[in-house]
Structure 1
Amino acid sequence: MYSPWKSNILGVVIRAWMFNSGFYESLSDRVEISTPLNSWKRVVEGVYLQQRSQSPYEGDVFHETPTGLLFYTYLLKLNCNVLHAVFILCDVITAIVLTEATRLFIQDIVKDQQNKLKTCHKDAKKITLKKEEVANVPQYVTAAYLLNPYIVCSCVAMTTTVFANLILSLTLLAMAKRSRLLSTFCLAFAAHQSFYPIMLLVPIAIATAKEKQLLKSVFLTTTTYAFFTSLLIWFAYLSTGSWRFIESTYGCILKVPDLTPNIGLFWYFFTEMFDHFYLFFTYVFQLNPFIYVIPLAIRFDDNVPLLSFTLCAIMAIFKSYPSIGDVGFYLALLPLWNHLVPFFRHSFIVGCIFLVTSVLSPILWYLWIYTGSANANFFFATTLAFATAQIFLLTDVLFAQAKYDYHLKHGVDLKINGKEGMLVLE
């Protein structure tokens, strides 16, 4: 059986080696990794201003919450090597938490299928999941997180996305355990930092709902989340003595005033936007990721893991300041859908686009910024292709699940290609 400790050790060794090799300086300035919201250099600047009795929220440098500011103040008192160890440890803990969450999710998926066997087609038993077939999936998630280049670079660049991913993983674990109190508590922290995770309220409400009590679960989940969020905002106000932080944190996320290039879709569009259209299209862009929540919840209300994965992917694609650390988080959950691989149709194309854009992005950035032989259109083309690849990947997973559900109900003739030993649908 596959051992997760190999991935843990290798992931730690890679990060430690990159820290000691001085990769921080080069990676921390990469726009694909560091954004105005997660840059460690901005954190250092914000803490510096705070220690000199100046509000870090007066300018346009620091956009973390006061709760985060307090946490980072203590972190910056640590020795440099100890600080690096904290980032590595957070990544390891995130991987362990995701592994446990995946184990619970896969158990629920298998159990749900076993309960529905009577309604399945007799031929569909060939593609139903068995416990022994998915036993190693959680360990694959561990490897997919700790050995993912996007996550490794995000960690070595010391972005605050490392802590955001940890909180988000705890939210998923609490959701898998069907704990409303713990999941809303973790979600309050996650949304307090980056706002977009608020859409995970829907899968939490579904996961914690008892039979035919969905509306009651929605009410309880929403009120519990609102209570924890109110406490966090009140604590933030008490620690700063003003409400100015709201404009610098949530205002920056929603209004998108900083158009520093990143891997997202906002910066280029709003750079070209006329001022009198700016507010309207800001509302349109910000509403875009949220309009998918209810339709997806209706379609996949019986598959909370898939719904949660989909919403995490939508957040990473359509948020105002995304980074590759956000992308790496949901990519680490892909092994959950290992059983859907025979139903994928664009996996090769998506993989190629991910690879090509990851290589071209720093090259075209260099040509644009340093040599002047390219322009913003070249770099934006790679970010647009990268976002398109993510959308193709997400729709591939959703359509594969829809096909899988169809074949469970109506049956499917499967045969083994004797030459290659691969599943072929007929």
Structure 2
Amino acid sequence: MRIQSTSRRALVVSAALALSLGSVYAQKKYDPGASDTEIKIGNILPYSGPASAYGTIGKAAAAYIAQVNAQGGVNGRKINFISVDDAYSPPKTVEMTRKLVEQEEVLAIFLPLGTTGNLAIQKYMNAKKVPQLFVGSGASRFGDVKENPWTIGWQPTNRAEAMAYAQYILKNSPNAKIAVLMQNDDFGKDYQKGLLEGLGDKAKTMVVSQQTYETTDPTVDSQIVAMKGSGADTLVILTTPKFAAMAVKKTDEIGWKPTRFLVSSANSVGSVLKPAGLEAAKGIISATYLRDPTDPATQATKEYQDYAACMKQYYPGGDVSDALNVLGYTAAQTLVHTLKQAGDNLTRENVMKQALSLNTTLPMLQPGITVQTDASNAYPIEKMQLIQFNGTRYEKFGGMFGGK
């Protein structure tokens, strides 16, 4: 009788264990691009073309992902990171997006770079219900989750950044004569809108010259000369890295010494200011949400040392002083954090849910800046710090601006 009783208990325990294990396995949910062993993530960047300087972002992101994979992956799964080149051409962005979604069957497309390219694919991504995750653009429309629930931004918005420059000018140089150099597309226009909104009614009298360029233009020399001729004493550079370097170099060559503002997406010391000439770049005002990898105080931190070690091992050809590499590394950390939160429920719907449920800090963000989202807020990073280039590196000045 005792044996029978023990047997019954064993059967009960076995049944309970089976039910428990069955419950665990039942919780695993996968959409295309996910399995017990792999998470397939797509990425689109300009490795060629007029904005090829941004290509290093993808290589730095791949370096961090390689490190994560070497340490066991995310919840036991390796990230299969498929990064493709769109040459900063919207038709090519569309082509590469379709390839990643329909042929590669990625779970999500992460950090697709460029305002115009992302606008070209946004409707498709939302119709397909594939996450357009942590878009590499500061256009404010990429955080409008009511209109596009499968799209989420990452960096602070272009409009908020440009408004901060406008407010600084109004406070410190209320009689400034402003010249604006801008890329003639949605990227430049978004920044321009923020600048004009920030200047308010005074924009009509303060802005004395607005010059545009196309991404196919060989130089912006004629635009710089024209702006100098306008009598402007303040220059706002709303460009991508290649053209920012040209603008900084040309202003120096013709002896024009305006107060210069340079957008954060083109303020890298390594890929912009060094090619332009560090002395020529002295005094430039910009903004950042990332730690400056050229700052000795940053270099003394464990956060920087971890970043540098990752770069050394997994992207040895990359420039650790290039802020674009810090961007790629940090954005990839946001992706990994999101996938960890998703656990074994690796559906596209849950990945978006987790991307809209973030509350964390990341090592190479400026101290005091966090990554926060919720169901109605798809702007993960909203604060920025004003900085000025001293001829060697950027120094903080003024304070932070923006939300949370």
Give TM-score, length-normalised by structure 1: 0.26
> Relative to total residues, which structure has the larger strand share, 1 or 2?
2
> Relative to total residues, which structure has the larger helix share, 1 or 2?
1
When Rg is computed on C-alpha atoms for both structures, the one with the higher figure is 2
